Structure 1
Amino acid sequence: MKNILRAFAVLILIVLVYLRIAIYPQLDLLSGFSAKSVASGHFIDGRSLETIQLGDNNLPKVNWVSNKINDSEKFVTSTVYGLKERKAIYREGLGATLIDDDFDVTKSYEVPKRRFIKNSRPYPLGNNEPKDTIFTTIDYNKLHDAVDDAFDKKDEKNKRTRSVVVLYKDHLIAEKYATGFNKNSRILGWSMTKSITGTFFGILQHQGKINIMKPAPIKEWQNDQRKNITINDLLHMNSGLEWEEEYTKICDATQMLFQAEDMSRCQLEKPAVFKPNTHWNYSSGTTNLLSGILRKQFKSHQEYLDFWYASLIDKIGMNSMIVETDMKGNFVGSSYGWATTRDWAKFGLLYLHKGNWNGEQIFDESWAKYVATPTNTSNGRYGAQFWLNAGGYFPNVPKDMYYCSGFQGQMIFIIPSLDLVIVRMGLSEEFDFNKFLKEVTACLKK
């Protein structure tokens, strides 16, 4: 009997040690993810706690978390069985920010000055409702079937598509939403935000204010081999800096998004493990470093905040969009852009038009070619903050297609050869995008 009790005690000890080593460190990230997710979904898009917990919070172990919303003071607190409490606050204009115990919630803060330009043209080039247009080159029955097939049938949870928008020759030709979503629903684009962030370098270059081929302006790198890293290398995810991006475990990316006070410094502080332009490595830290570099281009924090909206977001009428900030006031350019599906499609249309929006050139035509040209170490998969089909990753889709891609299958597909922009927002990356794109593009009659 004593031997049995002793063995049982050893087993319990082993379990406790395992929990302490393997599970306990994850709790902070779990409660942090949940607090941020609930605060953003609730205060930005008006979703209920139940909707967020059943939908947006669909990661492993996140159901261990309990969440409480304080509507009057606009914050969310989350714990894992009473442990590791995390708090996310909502501030109008800045979105939701996950904060730590040292964050001063009483401190005043600056917000972007928005200028919503009135444009009476129909969507997508304006803000009025789209104009019905029938193209003889489209098989509409096939198109509607293709879009319908992107959504789950009743009681299914396989494809998990939330919305689809299709633009052809500057017209909305298809649009559909899952139950609970509509044209006004703001949806998190996750890493599609990287393409937004990268675009600002194209805008500054068009304005003659930056040269992306020059070394990154980072003083901490000037005394080691990192001094040779250019902004171009960073845009191509080709800097050679150490970084781990694996969302199934604690890694550089998850620690940055759910623990860092200043996300722009997480990649900056990493050592070089390869020479620049020799090793492609996808890194959200790199994009947030780029956001920090953008901030340095302006004399004041207010100018930095305003630039994102005045030079691009509000200029093309993406008035629903909000890009959230970290505790230090940096836009989280890697991951935290919210917008309606229609507005995400506008961004794709801007690139389809090579930077021209209603007659105004926002970035040079050459910039669209630049972002869609493969970096030499990505096997045709990646350009400059955009993903590519140059290597035929989607075999049944034109190879000139390039796209914005975000966690859980957020996608903006730009297909210049077909004058087509396709947006799909959802909750699953298991979705068969090749089949979907094949079916949609097949609707265009030869």
Structure 2
Amino acid sequence: MKKYFKIGVFIFFLFLVYFGFATYPKLEVISGFSAKSVTSAHFIDHRSQEIIEKSDNDFDVIGWATNEINESGRFVTSNVFGLKKRKAIYREGLGATLINDGFDVTKPYEIPKRTKSSSKLPFPYGDAEPKDTVFANVDYAKLNQAVANAFDAKGEDEKRTRSVLVIYKDKIIAEKYADGFTKNSIILGWSMTKSITGTLFGILQKQGRFDIYKPAPVAEWQNDNRKYITTNDLLHMNSGLEWDEYYDRICDATKMLFQDKDMTQSQLIKPAVFKPNTHWNYSSGTTNLLSGILRKQFKTHREYLDFWYSALIDKIGMYSMVIESDMAGNYVGSSYGWATTRDWSKLGLLYLHKGNWNGEQIFDASWSKYVSTPTNTSNGKYGAQFWLNAGGFYPDAPRDLYSCNGFQGQKVFIIPSQDLVIVRMGLTGDSKFDFNSLLKGIVGSVKKD
């Protein structure tokens, strides 16, 4: 009996050692993710805590967290088994911010100015509902079946699609939402936000205020070999800077998103391990560095905050969109953009029309070609803050397809050859969701006229 007891004690001791070395360091990230997620989803989209915990937070070890919402204070605290308590606050105009113990919640802060113009035009250029349009070259039965197949049947929980929207020639030809979601639901795009960030450089370039082909304006790099990195290299994720991006372990990306006060510094401080334009490496830190570079193009913080909305987001009627900020007041351009499915589609439509929005040229037409041209060493899968199908990742979709992609399968597909924009929002990515079949079915339902 004593022998088995000693064995049990030894096994328990090994478990504690393993937990200490392998799991305990992750608790701060777990509670941080949970606090930030609950704060955003609850105060931006008004989801209940129960729904958030059963959907947004029900993967891997995130479900270990215990969350508490403070309605009057508009903040959420989370912990894991009583350990590593984290807090996220909600501020109107800036969304949710995960804060540390040193953050002064009483300090005044600036918020972006939003401008909404009223228009009686139908979607996508105005506030009116889209007009019913029937295209003779669209097989609606096939289209609707393809869209329906993207959703779970009753009682299933595998595909986890929240919405699918299909736009052809500026008209909605299919639109479907999962139970609990509507055209007014505001959904996190995760890394689709990178495409927003990248677009702002296209706008600055059109305005003659920035040259992406010059060395990146980063003072800290001017005395070493990083001084040769251009903004073009950063936009293409081809800078050669060191960076690790995984979401099943502690790495550069998770430390940045759930621990750093100033997320624009995370990539900036990394050394160069390759020459620029020789090694493609996906990096959320790079996009947040780009957000920091954008900030320095303006004399004041207020101008930086306003520019994202006045030059792009509100300009094309993405009024539901909120870009969240870090503790230092930088937009988290890598990951934290929220908008309705219809508003996400407007970014796709802007690119489908090569920067022209209802007669106004937002960025030069050449910019759409720039972002959709494969970057060196990406094997045809990446352009400039957009993903590509040039290498045939989706074999049954047109090769000219390019897209905004986000964690858990957020997608805005742009298909110029078909005059299509397709949006899918959900909780499953390419490893679990068959995007190729979805694209094949939708594209196959529209014959070229």
The TM-score, its normalising length taken from structure 2, stands at 0.98
1:146 pairs with 2:156: no
Q: Distance in 1 between matches of 2:10 and 2:394?
A: 52
Q: Distance in 1 between matches of 2:351 and 2:8?
A: 64
Counterparts of residues 393-412 of structure 1 (less than 5 Å): 393-412=393-412
Unaligned segments of structure 2, at least 5 residues:
none
TM-aligned CA deviation for residue 58 of structure 1: 2.1
Who is 1:225 aligned against?
225
The amino acid of 2:157's aligned partner reads K
Counterparts of residues 34-45 of structure 1 (less than 5 Å): 34-45=34-45
Deviations 1:246-296 (A, max 9, x none): 101111101110111000000001111100000000000000000000000
Deviations 1:120-177 (A, max 9, x none): 2100122211011111111111111111111111010111000011110011111000
1:135 pairs with 2:135: yes
The amino acid of 1:180's aligned partner reads G
1:437 pairs with 2:439: yes
Who is 2:265 aligned against?
265
Q: Distance in 2 between matches of 1:126 and 1:284?
A: 33
SS of residue matched to 2:363: coil
Who is 1:167 aligned against?
167
Who is 2:19 aligned against?
19
Q: Distance in 1 between matches of 2:169 and 2:11?
A: 66
The amino acid of 1:361's aligned partner reads Q
Q: Distance in 1 between matches of 2:310 and 2:405?
A: 24
The amino acid of 1:418's aligned partner reads Q
TM-aligned CA deviation for residue 5 of structure 1: 4.8
Who is 1:300 aligned against?
300
Q: Distance in 2 between matches of 1:6 and 1:132?
A: 74
Q: Distance in 1 between matches of 2:231 and 2:124?
A: 32
Who is 2:59 aligned against?
59
Who is 1:90 aligned against?
90
The answer to whether the Cα contact below 8 Å between 1:318 and 1:343 also exists between their aligned partners in 2 is yes
Who is 1:80 aligned against?
80
SS of residue matched to 1:412: strand
The answer to whether the Cα contact below 8 Å between 1:216 and 1:230 also exists between their aligned partners in 2 is yes
SS of residue matched to 1:267: helix
TM-aligned CA deviation for residue 2 of structure 1: 5.7
Moved over 6 A (4+): none
Who is 1:209 aligned against?
209
Who is 1:318 aligned against?
318
Deviations 1:35-64 (A, max 9, x none): 000000000000000000000002211121
TM-aligned CA deviation for residue 6 of structure 1: 4.5
The amino acid of 1:435's aligned partner reads S
TM-aligned CA deviation for residue 7 of structure 1: 4.2
SS of residue matched to 2:66: strand
The answer to whether the Cα contact below 8 Å between 1:163 and 1:175 also exists between their aligned partners in 2 is yes
Q: Distance in 2 between matches of 1:83 and 1:276?
A: 42
The answer to whether the Cα contact below 8 Å between 1:124 and 1:172 also exists between their aligned partners in 2 is no
Deviations 1:212-249 (A, max 9, x none): 00011111111111010000000000000000001011
Q: Distance in 2 between matches of 1:383 and 1:445?
A: 28
The answer to whether the Cα contact below 8 Å between 1:280 and 1:377 also exists between their aligned partners in 2 is yes
Who is 1:243 aligned against?
243
Unaligned segments of structure 1, at least 5 residues:
none
The amino acid of 1:438's aligned partner reads K
Q: Distance in 2 between matches of 1:438 and 1:4?
A: 59
Who is 2:191 aligned against?
191
SS of residue matched to 1:17: helix
Who is 1:388 aligned against?
388
The answer to whether the Cα contact below 8 Å between 1:375 and 1:383 also exists between their aligned partners in 2 is yes
Q: Distance in 2 between matches of 1:142 and 1:5?
A: 65
Task: Give the fraction of aligned pairs with identical amino acids, expressed as a percent.
Answer: 69
Q: Distance in 1 between matches of 2:281 and 2:119?
A: 41
TM-aligned CA deviation for residue 82 of structure 1: 0.9
The Cα RMSD (Å) is 0.9
The farther-off stretch of 139-148 and 68-77 is 139-148
